[in-house]
Amino acid sequence: MYASRMHDTPPADDAPKHALAHRLRLDFEAALGAGTLENPEGWRVLDTRVFQRWVPVVELRLHTDDRTLCFILAPSDPERPAFKRGPQHDIVYYSDDLAVAEHSGLYARDKPSIERFARWLVAWDAAP
């Protein structure tokens, strides 16, 4: 399941989510650097951020060549669509470099990366 880019606002104060975003960036970059997370496409972390959608969420933004790939981690909610569900967070993906009307092609374009990174995110979400 992909998400379309919205004009979201930062939450007023959500220190736990900011700590989660910081830890996500450090852990994801460490996994890429150590080779424990395969990365033949050469993705790099652009940033992580916290913003408000229906609830505060954490976003991981990646970049390679002329493409972006972003993952949003939102608190688990079985009433909302998600690409993958971890024990604590639902995961959706999108890309800044595709128009919303073209997002149906994102999975076909980046399927190996989306699947690999989503699996890592679910495992990371389950870690203590």
Give the C-alpha separation, 78 to 115, whole Å: 20
The mean pLDDT of 82-108, rounded to a whole number, is 93
Domain count, the chain: 1
- Owning domain of residue 69: 15-126
| Residue 5 in domain | no
Whole-model pTM?
A: 0.87
- Each residue of 85-121: b (16+ CB within 10 Å) or e? ebeebbbbbbbeebeeeebeebeeebeebbebbbebb
| Residue 122 in domain | yes
| Residue 41 in domain | yes
Residue pLDDT, tens place only, 5-29: 444 555 456 789 999 999 999 999 9
| Residue 9 in domain | no
Residue pLDDT, tens place only, 38-60: 999 999 999 999 998 888 999 99
| Residue 2 in domain | no
| Residue 89 in domain | yes
